Structure 1
Amino acid sequence: MSDGGVRGGDLAAGAPLAGVRIVDAVRGPLSPITRYLAELGATVDRIVADDDTRELDGFDHRAAHAGKRRATGEDAALIAAAHAVVEDGTLDTEVLRAGRPALVTMTVSDFGHGHAMSDWQGSDAILHALSGELCRSGIRGEAPLLLPLGIAYQCAASQGAYVLVTTLYRALRTGVGDHIDFSALEGAVQALDPGFGIGGSATMGRPATLLSRDRPVRGYQYPIIPCADGHVRICLLAARQWQGMFGWMGEPAAFADPSFARTSVRYKSPELIPAIAAFFADKTRAELEEQGQAHGVPIAALATLEEAIEAPHFVARGTFRRDGDVMLPAGVVTIDGRRAVGAPSSSSPPPPVPDAPARDGVRDDALPFAGLRVIDLGVIVVGAETSRLFADGGADVVKIESRTFPDGNRQSYLPYDLSVSFAAGHRNKRSLGLDLRTPAGKALFLDMVARADVVLSNFKPGTMESLGFDRDTLAQANPRLVMVESSAFGATGPWSRRMGYGPLVRAATGLTDLWRYPGDPQGYSDSITIYPDHVAARIGAIAAVALLIRRLRSGAGGHAEVAQAEVMLAHFAADVARASAGADRAGPPDRPWGVYRAAGDDAWCVVSVRNDADWHALAAILGLDDDDRFATRAGRAMHGDLLDRLVADWMAGQEADAAMHLLQQAGVPAATMLRIGELPGFAFYRDRGFFREERHPYLDEPVVNESYHARSNAGAPVATRPAPLAGEDSAQVLADWLGLDADAIGRLVDEDVVQPTDPAVYDLIRDTRSAAARGK
């Protein structure tokens, strides 16, 4: 097999992308796209001029470009040796690609190209408003709350890195490159918390379009409770977790009714949270964490970012590294048991651009993962999303399911194990019902592993080992296997065995503390957000694809581990650097910068001033262009409260959509706050063809999904196979993967080793839909 022109030393044990050459000509907040590839061993050369006014400064610059090289040679020579070029409109990608059929190019911008909004101006706040995230952030009766600065762009950059490495993998397999038109808004709407994507199990699969137009009530869903030295958050989702809480409190008679085992009953009880608060009041955060873990109660102390950096768990894991006078995240992925921190230094000349592809049996026009077999052991959101990315890309993804331990996302508002949310997160997969606790089930699983390319899981650390499927066992069954494991806090360190949910990860890493209203100590506002689940899935997929690229050259597989807490901390890399240097956290770039109420029912418009040019354009609209108080950034900061009032007074008389268009036409970043249901009809998404509506054979509601992960010249849309019922494809999968005949499969079904969909489920679906039709 050809090595695709990417050469290195001991590839089986080395950095997955060692030898891959990337040219980075991106300025601004999407610069971290290539940092992910640099961490995995790619050589990333930056050719951006030092004096460019759009370049990042200070701590943001160091965080975005960690692991990259400042170009010292001729730009043309660097590009001639590159496998991929990422730029922001300063280079002519058509010229670059001429005569270079395997070259991958990516142009990044806020809104993409080729439509009426291509010239609109973006900011982190604009991405929140137009992605549907802002409408879910805050507290009922209050203004929507902008998320901590930088999250939207960071999530978009993670999506961009996934698209880039996936396109590079396809080019190395087929010899055919591509040009990607990457939009930050499309990246954010997919990777931050997609309103039409899969949600957490607590939602029972209900679509986000059913949410109230207002924000959630204070303290909704994942309570934050004061204690002796701060606050803690609890996540009581399962009945066994409630039983642990009930026992920990001494089994108070007021809550002994068995109905409290149901989440809905606990949410509605006006007495429960005050009783828990009284029980917690005299205990410290550390005591509550220790006792809660002992009783099986998912709990985490609310930490500040500064406390998280110094937490013994992250110190033990080596989450941070020193870079001169500051600390930075040490990379978000562990490869083969070692932290991925970049390519080894080498004086050897750069490898040539591949002139012959690896060509492992795929057509030139194939989807990137065509021909790959993926075993999906994932659960809830991270597991669903990681494998769906492979399924959308053409892989045969088989979800292993068990009646005894069903995926929490199988919980549904319907009486059968399917929902709009599950359908969105599991499209293009097949389901195999298999009891992995039986000897026969274990043997079947290992037979499948021997034929697989990738195995994905996101259990609590130790679960795979307890099943007998540790890393060495799987690698022995298939030395070419790529394995990716994801967990809340990682497989090592003092917190490795903690029960981890997204809300607890956010609390422990300092995000919850940052995500609250100024001046309101109890104004925590991240209660219904699914973060970092979707973006952690992208990081896991990036690691898997990088290992597949290494396998093209070495023939050997590998193992990657992702800690969701570290993904989140990497998004705050610049703030980690500031905190370690004793500097203040960065505020908004300029004033005004915020959410302003517009005319209409709970209508809001975001306005972002980034620089003097933005201010002068806004001042002309407001009639303030002659007011010397606001002429400079220092003056706008000094009179910021007054300036906000003036903008608010003007906005109150404007329709949000009209204000957005007026300001954007003047070059001022502005955006109306979109609700989830408004996204498909918004001009940007409609003109780009981003959303599509799919019909599922077992659902009455339409399933809305993205049409592509990023627009490109290849233009191949993702596939549209409906998500399966549990065990629905069992017989076909065993026939396709293992060659088992009907008699052999029948015996396994009789022994309950293989668990196809119960025929009664189809009757239940028919009866439920018939009853719904009669009700209409």
Structure 2
Amino acid sequence: MTFPLTGIRVLDLTDGLGESCGRYLADLGAEVVRAEPPGGSRSRSAEPRIDGVSIPFALRNANKRGITLDPERPEQLRALVRGVDIVVDSGTVTTDSPAALNLPVNPRAELPDLLAGNPALVWVSITPFGRTGPYRDWVASESVLYAMSGVLSRSGTPGAVPLLPPAGLIEETVGVHAAWSALLAHVAALRSGRGEFVDVSAFETVVHGFDPGFGTQGSAAAGRSEDFPRGRPAAANFYPVFRCADGYVRICLLARRQWRCMFEWLGEPAEFADPAYDTIPARFAAADRLHPLIGALFADRTRDELVAEGARRGVPVGGVHDVAEVLRLDHFAVSGALIDTELAPGLTARVPAGYLTIDGHRAGIRTPAPEVGEHDESPAGSTAQPVMRAVSAEPMPPSDDARAGIADPAARVDPPPAESTRPVVVGSGAGGDAGVVRPLDGLRVLDLGVIVFGAELSRQLADYGADVIKIENAAFPDGLRQAKRGAALAPSVAWGHRNKRSLGVDLRTAAGKRIFTELVRDADVLLANFKPGTLTSMGFDPAGLLALNPRLIVSEASAFGDVGPWRERLGYGPLVRASCGVSAMWRYPDDPELLCDGMTVYPDHIAGQVAATAILAALIRRAETGAGGLIELAQSDTALVQLGVQLAAESIRPGSAAAPGNRDPYYAPTGVFPCVGDDEWCVVAVRTDAEWARLCEVIGHPELAADPRFATREARLVHRSVTEELVTGWLAGRSPRAAMETLQAAGVPAGAMLRLPELLRDPQLRERGAYTMLAHPLLPAGLPATATVAHFRTIPEPPLRAAPLPGEHTEEICRSLLEMSDEAIAALVGQGVLQTVPAEKRPAVTASPLPLGSVAIG
């Protein structure tokens, strides 16, 4: 199998944060060369370690080749940079030798002389908080980022200490966003011939990309103050968990029909016959009476029996599996999601294979992580060049066909003009400097996607220039359009469908199928995330679509994939999390029933980013070969990959992957500590002896740095309670922000638990323009929304065109793309084949968007 990025060369200078970026690019076929100092990178000692092997390092550096790079010899780096397409660093090299590398602080600045020999180079810098702003020199752990991003404030049970989510999810989320940003910049460079510098902040990535409060299905909804409780919401009742004969199951009752099926399954109890219980809020309010009934019904049945009966009745039920059980599940073995492989010489583990398949082949782990300098020289007797020399060779410049091959703007009808409340930097791509040029200009996407995953995937493409046509049928509205809560428009629609167009068409009719088929003939990408087999049952099987248009890229996604015994299962994010071990790790250690992941829609957003990155890779391949392809993704595989460290460790040492709660099992003092005030908390995460010494200075006990009880990591773990008492005592009289700023000034990882409204006022996010205001004519006020995640040198920030009404652009699309007459369009509208928005029902022109901060929140 030749994967899409074959021929793309990546120099990986990361150490810890962002290592998974290179891994995903390597999975997609890029030649990724990991450069380390002669003694090896610090991340080789990352915990957990088994038989001297760091499991995180082994997983996040698989499929790469390894060389040594002497930091005292910058000419080595200059030679390497001349021969690659993409460089990824995590602030290590640039911090240690800024004079030698001369990288810009501001990503909008011109690229330095270092890059002059490779003008189309893309350099991606991944740091905890970005290269600019008041936090630019701060340090962070995953727990610090959970606290500061607003995730922690929504996790845990009311009245208790907020609960940290599982480790690993943030690293993988940052890695995927960095990979997307790298390929987006590479596409821009292919079209313009000019390189890009990309500034990726892990903080902003988690704020916007993990489970955004101000995003599709986000907790912030319309920004009303009642959506921001001081304590944790009672999220365990959103997607409740029930004990059964052999463990636990979770149910997701979202649609009215699902509740009606559950009501029938319960024997139609009279106290719940009132139609008021058709609504989620009513059932939530009656949880203390309803859930015992469901618990009694489920108690004597097994998980498999309940899941099967739920599927038969139309009730979404999923088993709750811990990490050990996940490793034994047949579905993940049959689907190829989990495989047994050698992580290091003599060390075999069961691990997640990779995020997805391309043209039927898993884009996943193929070779183990390299030893230090393993590929500095060729093996004895080999005729291959040493990697150092091979990578240093001048890259082949992209052909004119390749530059124009991502999309052909001349063959496209431009979508409506962009409107933005933020200044944009005019790019210099194929369209020149006369107007705003985006990397995906000219790309046409047919979007059959639904709910969160579908919205987020196509929004990424629309934000950067693609003409995304959302295919809709008023008889079967997207679930996001139904979540209006009495408003004229659901905020999630405004967030998730900005910058798109809408075509209303009934694909069940012969005429509707013909219209869609004609659009497919000239489309570049088709997106769908239905239950497996649905697209085929509609008459549009992927093989037939690719035969009709060999240049088409088809992206299909589902909850558990198209292969394996679970392919028919109903899947929502909460059921995916429960089935993959994430929920079992996201709980308090002493309560197996109190799962605390109910407020999040993970992994929908990040799975959409995974798919978007693979689509970019396929577009890059198509630019060279002219061939499209099929991308297939299971959201469950995203969860598995991001929980990969725990899965691998458990497979080697059974019993090691237990829910840790807020205590990092490998470092102390770490945790979530109370501060002065009501429900105010601060995360502190001491990982090294140096950080411990700095903490001792801050709390006024410098003598403890050398105390044998605390002088080493191992000693601090033994005396963890004492170290935590010291931190608790120091924090007791301080506010979270004051404590965070004091500790960060000393170089100690610390983060205040921020609530969603505080994100809009956070100094770092404000200085870096992380939020903008999104206006829509059907909303009474502007919505805070993502401005951008990564910061580019030339790529402009996304426009803010209002999300369309269903069928708003039907006539426009049929005239311009299908050359249909007004009479033909009107006839099909009369027959119900096409759906439009009558002129009298179209909203007034959107008012000028409000500046950030003009809407009162909280």
Indicate whether the TM-score tops 0.5. yes
Deviation at 1:626, TM superposition (A): 1.9
CA deviation profile, 1:203-231 (whole Å, cap 9, x unmatched):
79544862312101162210111112221
Deviation at 1:257, TM superposition (A): 3.1
1:604 touches 1:673 (CA, 8 Å); kept in 2?
yes
Identify which of 55, 58, 65 aligns with 1:59. Answer: 55
TM-score when scaled to structure 1? 0.93
- How many Å separate the matches in 1 of 2:300 and 2:839? 54
Aligned to 1:353: 395
Q: Any residues of structure 2 matched to 1:570-585 within 5 Å, and which?
A: 570-582=641-653, 584-585=656-657
2:820 matched to 1:749? no
Deviation at 1:343, TM superposition (A): 8.0
Identify which of 241, 247, 253 aligns with 1:224. Answer: 241
Deviation at 1:262, TM superposition (A): 2.3
Aligned to 1:638: 718
Aligned to 1:284: 302
Aligned to 1:600: 677
CA deviation profile, 1:324-348 (whole Å, cap 9, x unmatched):
2122221111001111136899969
Identify which of 688, 700, 717 aligns with 2:780. Answer: 700
- How many Å separate the matches in 2 of 1:222 and 1:661? 37
Amino acid aligned to 1:392: D
Measured at CA, do residues 640 and 553 of structure 1 come closer, stay the same or move farther in structure 2, by a change above 3 Å? same
1:451 touches 1:737 (CA, 8 Å); kept in 2?
no
1:134 touches 1:144 (CA, 8 Å); kept in 2?
yes
2:153 touches 2:755 (CA, 8 Å); kept in 1?
yes
Deviation at 1:315, TM superposition (A): 0.6
Measured at CA, do residues 411 and 45 of structure 1 come closer, stay the same or move farther in structure 2, by a change above 3 Å? same
CA deviation profile, 1:292-339 (whole Å, cap 9, x unmatched):
122111111110112112211001011122222122221111001111
Aligned to 1:363: 431
Amino acid aligned to 1:46: R
Match of 1:531, SS state, is coil
- How many Å separate the matches in 2 of 1:312 and 1:733? 46
Measured at CA, do residues 138 and 740 of structure 1 come closer, stay the same or move farther in structure 2, by a change above 3 Å? same
2:673 touches 2:681 (CA, 8 Å); kept in 1?
yes
1:44 touches 1:68 (CA, 8 Å); kept in 2?
yes
CA deviation profile, 1:35-74 (whole Å, cap 9, x unmatched):
1110011110011125245324310110110111112796
- How many Å separate the matches in 1 of 2:82 and 2:603? 37
Identify which of 349, 352, 366 aligns with 1:329. Answer: 352
Deviation at 1:76, TM superposition (A): 5.0
1:206 touches 1:412 (CA, 8 Å); kept in 2?
no
Identify which of 26, 48, 54 aligns with 2:36. Answer: 48
Measured at CA, do residues 38 and 267 of structure 1 come closer, stay the same or move farther in structure 2, by a change above 3 Å? same
Deviation at 1:282, TM superposition (A): 1.1
Q: Any residues of structure 2 matched to 1:237-386 within 5 Å, and which?
A: 237-269=254-286, 270-324=288-342, 325-341=348-364, 353-357=395-399, 358-360=402-404, 361=408, 362-363=430-431, 366-386=437-457
Deviation at 1:88, TM superposition (A): 2.6
Identify which of 139, 150, 153 aligns with 2:168. Answer: 150
Amino acid aligned to 1:61: F
In terms of mean alpha carbon deviation, does 270-279 or 688-697 score higher? Answer: 688-697
Aligned to 1:615: 692
Deviation at 1:498, TM superposition (A): 0.7
Match of 1:27, SS state, is coil
In terms of mean alpha carbon deviation, does 599-608 or 335-344 score higher? Answer: 335-344
- How many Å separate the matches in 2 of 1:522 and 1:761? 49
1:153 touches 1:188 (CA, 8 Å); kept in 2?
no
- How many Å separate the matches in 2 of 1:727 and 1:347? 58
2:82 touches 2:118 (CA, 8 Å); kept in 1?
no
Deviation at 1:679, TM superposition (A): 0.8
Deviation at 1:641, TM superposition (A): 1.9
Aligned to 2:416: none
2:582 touches 2:643 (CA, 8 Å); kept in 1?
no
Match of 2:179, SS state, is helix
Match of 2:683, SS state, is strand
Aligned to 2:118: 100
Aligned to 2:184: 166
Aligned to 2:608: 537
- How many Å separate the matches in 2 of 1:635 and 1:515? 27
Measured at CA, do residues 611 and 37 of structure 1 come closer, stay the same or move farther in structure 2, by a change above 3 Å? same
Amino acid aligned to 1:353: P
Deviation at 1:577, TM superposition (A): 1.5
Match of 2:236, SS state, is coil
2:672 touches 2:682 (CA, 8 Å); kept in 1?
yes
Match of 2:43, SS state, is coil
CA deviation profile, 1:16-47 (whole Å, cap 9, x unmatched):
11111111010003100111110011110011
- How many Å separate the matches in 2 of 1:427 and 1:437? 27
2:235 touches 2:599 (CA, 8 Å); kept in 1?
no
- How many Å separate the matches in 1 of 2:62 and 2:194? 30
1:205 touches 1:413 (CA, 8 Å); kept in 2?
no
Equivalent pairs, count: 752
Amino acid aligned to 1:334: T
- How many Å separate the matches in 2 of 1:53 and 1:208? 47
Aligned to 1:4: none
In terms of mean alpha carbon deviation, does 509-518 or 750-759 score higher? Answer: 750-759
Match of 1:322, SS state, is strand
Identify which of 67, 72, 75 aligns with 1:71. Answer: 67
- How many Å separate the matches in 1 of 2:313 and 2:523? 39
CA deviation profile, 1:660-700 (whole Å, cap 9, x unmatched):
11001011111111111111210110111111112222211
Deviation at 1:435, TM superposition (A): 0.7
Match of 1:71, SS state, is strand
- How many Å separate the matches in 1 of 2:839 and 2:479? 22
- Which ranges in structure 1 are unaligned for 5 or more consecutive residues? 1-12, 767-776
Aligned to 2:422: none
Aligned to 1:511: 582
- How many Å separate the matches in 2 of 1:435 and 1:764? 27
2:26 matched to 1:32? no
Using the aligned pairs only, state the percent identity. Answer: 42
Aligned to 2:561: 490
2:773 touches 2:784 (CA, 8 Å); kept in 1?
yes
2:10 touches 2:86 (CA, 8 Å); kept in 1?
yes
Match of 2:403, SS state, is coil
1:205 touches 1:422 (CA, 8 Å); kept in 2?
no
In terms of mean alpha carbon deviation, does 186-195 or 528-537 score higher? Answer: 186-195
1:243 touches 1:261 (CA, 8 Å); kept in 2?
yes
2:81 touches 2:118 (CA, 8 Å); kept in 1?
no
- How many Å separate the matches in 2 of 1:332 and 1:288? 28
Measured at CA, do residues 205 and 672 of structure 1 come closer, stay the same or move farther in structure 2, by a change above 3 Å? closer
Aligned to 1:769: none
Q: CA RMSD of the aligned region, Å?
A: 2.4
2:487 matched to 1:445? no
1:198 touches 1:425 (CA, 8 Å); kept in 2?
yes
Aligned to 1:774: none
Aligned to 1:176: 194
- How many Å separate the matches in 1 of 2:365 and 2:301? 43
Measured at CA, do residues 416 and 731 of structure 1 come closer, stay the same or move farther in structure 2, by a change above 3 Å? farther
- How many Å separate the matches in 2 of 1:473 and 1:515? 42
Amino acid aligned to 1:101: P
- How many Å separate the matches in 1 of 2:563 and 2:78? 44
- How many Å separate the matches in 2 of 1:762 and 1:642? 65
Match of 2:633, SS state, is strand
1:392 touches 1:719 (CA, 8 Å); kept in 2?
yes
